[in-house]
Amino acid sequence: MIKKIFKFLICLLPWFVTYLIPLDYNYLKVIKTPAFTPPSLFYPIAWTIIYILIAITIYQILNLYKFKDLPNKYKLTLLVNYIFNQSFTLLFFGLKNNFLGFIACLGTLLSSLFLYDETALIKNKISKLLYPYIILSIFATILSLSIYLLNA
Q: Rounded to whole angstroms, how far apart are CA atoms 50 and 88?
A: 15
CATH number of the domain bearing residue 146: 1.20.1260
pLDDT of amino acid 62: 96
pLDDT of amino acid 44: 92
Cα dist from 93 to 12, 50, 58, 72, 120, whole Å? 22, 20, 28, 32, 33
pLDDT of amino acid 19: 87
Domain of 6, in residue numbers: 2-151
pLDDT of amino acid 75: 97
pLDDT of amino acid 46: 97
Q: Given CA atoms 110, 65, 3, 56 in this order, what sign does their dihedral have?
A: positive
Alpha helices, DSSP H only, in 1-130? 2-12, 27-30, 42-64, 72-89, 98-122, 124-127
pLDDT of amino acid 23: 87
Q: Cβ neighbours of residue 66 under 8 Å, at least 6 residues apart?
A: none
Contact 148, 99 (CB under 8 A): yes
pLDDT of amino acid 72: 96
Other C-beta atoms lying within 10 Å of the C-beta of residue 128: 14
Predicted TM-score (pTM) of the model is 0.94
Q: Rounded to whole angstroms, how far apart are CA atoms 69 and 152?
A: 46
The values of phi and psi at residue 70, to 5°, are -65, 145
- List average pLDDT for each run of 10 residues in the chain, which is 152 residues long: 93 93 89 96 95 98 94 97 97 96 98 98 97 98 98 93
Measured in whole angstroms, how far is the alpha carbon of residue 78 from the centre of its chain?
10
The total number of structural domains that make up the chain: 1
